[in-house]
Chain A
Amino acid sequence: MYKGIAASRGIGIGSICRLIEHDLSFEAKIVSDTAAEKERFRKAIDSFVEDTNAMADEIRKNIGPKEAEILLGHAVMISDPAMSGEMFKMIEGGQCAEAALTAVCDMFIGMFSQMPDEMMRQRASDISDVKVSVLKKLLGVEDIDISKVPKGTVLVCKDLTPSMTSQIVKETVAGIITEVGGKTSHSAILARALEIPAVLSVPGIVDAVKDKDTAIIDGTEGDVYINPEGDVLAQYIIKREEFIRKQAELKTFFGKETLTADGDKLEIYCNIGTPKDAKKAMECDGEGVGLFRSEFLYMDNTHLPTEEEQFEAYKEAVETMQGKTVIIRTLDIGGDKDIPYMDFEKEENPFLGFRAVRYCVANLDTFKVQLRAITRASAYGKVKIMVPLVTTVDEVRTVKKLVAEIKDELKAEGIAFDSDIEVGCMMETAAASLIADLLAKEADFFSIGTNDLTGYTMAVDRGNAKVAYLYSAFQPAVLRSIRQIIAAGKEAGIPVGMCGEAAADPLMIPLLMSFGLDEYSVNPVLVLTARCIISKWTKAEADALADKVMAMDTEEEIVAALKAAAKE
């Protein structure tokens, strides 16, 4: 078995077709019939430009205009007087077309690869692409036509170039294996868009296989098998069927409401980190944003983000969500992060220290800038403010008072905002859980952050391998805490959501349904999975399971019981 980077999910089984790089060496010679040589070169360029334009058309249709522009640039480059113009001059002087092409291209490659600007350095690889393509035309070397490979082909190559990817037909290519590239490489993005399983960065794979070898690609795990034993093959054929069936099932949940098996309506929101992620949330059919982390504005910055900078970022996310709820979490950092322009002191225990809302209520000038920006963004959709690391009622009161002041200011300044903007608590400390009934009287909503709630409740650092076994949201203490928070919210009549990883855990979902959780905020790619699981449970079934596991006294027992009851 070979291991690589799992770049595009799914199981692919098929027959290998290697895309090998050709030998493009040539012997430079002096030509006497320069007219004929120029004609030969002219034909090669024309053919290259024709191919390139056709490929650009395909890419524009299948991928997008921006990707097509890169290829169109190649055609413009070769037609440039400094490129083909110079080459023709050299041929006139007696050089062969291959030598003229190589000399001029290499001159520019050298020039561009030394430029200080990263964008300009990338042009060197474009020129190199042009050189290789035209050289193939001159040498009469034909690449395999990827668009014509038989059904069930697994492509194996060093790297997929944009020109190769543009020829891939979804129906015939069963999988892709390359020697280079990562999760965000061009090949990975394309493979995911076409839903073709892909494993990238498998060292030496091109030389390790032959054409027509059988290959299994597990693009979910990053595993590759070449000429597998019969039982492995049989096992993966079943896995493939399961994956396809599951994907097809999940797709039926797209654009649907989130309903329990009884028909009760719940909501699946998304966790996002930047305004761009909001687009992802929409594409994945999220019903809102349950956690918009605002830290990116502070982390990747050289100065305290201004009100305008923040406002623009929040507004972008809010507008993208088209009226769906966006819960923005206020600044959640402390001494664990090194932000040069903010004077967090080094602390012995930064996670128990001066951070999040504690920093904010002590630095009202900084905090007010953020709250003003969020409140202004509320004019463009449905915005809620979420306060992290709450441990006392006073903290919530302080934030609410500040928001009330900001509303008065904005009103006086004639700036639009939603006067009903809600302020809620992120429930992630043992203290907040224990006074959930008191907080529920002040807060407009709760959102349970299970990651920190688990850490603070179990008094465990998940990064410490010696105690990490205690870090589980299925610990009886954590489950009791979650149940209590939801119950307190229900009692006070405020909505309760969850924005930790547990909200998307198939084992946790029935318990949360039983406890009465309203909104599940998950990674965008898990929206349909969560919706699918919720659809399989009735309240009565979930209650019966919850009653059973809440009486158990160890995490192992609870997880085992939940696994046994799980519905796939």
Chain B
Amino acid sequence: MVSQNITIKNEQGMHMRPASLLSQMAAKYDSSIKIMFSGKEIDCKSLMFLMAAGMKCGSEIELVCDGADEAAALAEITAFIESGMGD
């Protein structure tokens, strides 16, 4: 299991488009991919859970990947969130 602390950077937070892109990216991996945010555990492969969690610009999150391809998943998704998720 590997993990990484990240801050959400895009102005509008985790709205429809970034959540959609993020869930599609997470779905490519076999590992379980979760975000720990304000005491909740969010399944990154679900667009709906990502949106419903209410992550905003400035929110501090922990990305946790667990499985065979965990290192690659952690690297790609961390880079994606830090780049502002295409916004």
Contact = CB atoms under 8 A, between A and B. Distances in A.
B12 interface: yes
Nearest to B49: A82
A108 B15 CA distance: 15
A83 B12 CA distance: 24
Contact of B47 (A80, A111, A117): A80
Nearest to B52: A111
B71 interface: no
B62 interface: no
Contact of B48 (A83, A115, A119): A83
Given A76-B47, A82-B46, A119 B52 contact: no
B11 to A, nearest CB: 11
A86 to B, nearest CB: 9
Interface of B: 12-13, 15-17, 20, 23, 43, 45-49, 51-52, 54, 56
Contacts of A83: 48
A54 to B, nearest CB: 20
Contacts of B43: 81-82
Contacts of A77: 47-48
Q: Is the interface of A mostly helix, strand, loop or mixed?
A: helix
Contacts of A115: 52, 54
Interface of A: 69, 73, 76-77, 80-83, 85, 108, 111-112, 115-117, 119-120, 123
Given A77-B47, A80-B46, A81-B45, A119 B12 contact: yes
B15 A81 contact: no
A116 B12 CA distance: 13
Nearest to A104: B48
A123 B45 contact: no
A218 to B, nearest CB: 39
Contact of B51 (A81, A85, A116, A120): A120
Contacts of B56: 117
Question: What are the nearest 5 A-B pairs in CB distance?
Answer: A82-B46, A82-B48, A80-B47, A80-B48, A111-B52
Contacts of B54: 115-117, 120
A108 B12 contact: no
A116 B15 CA distance: 13
A120 B56 CA distance: 11
Contact of B16 (A73, A82, A111): A73
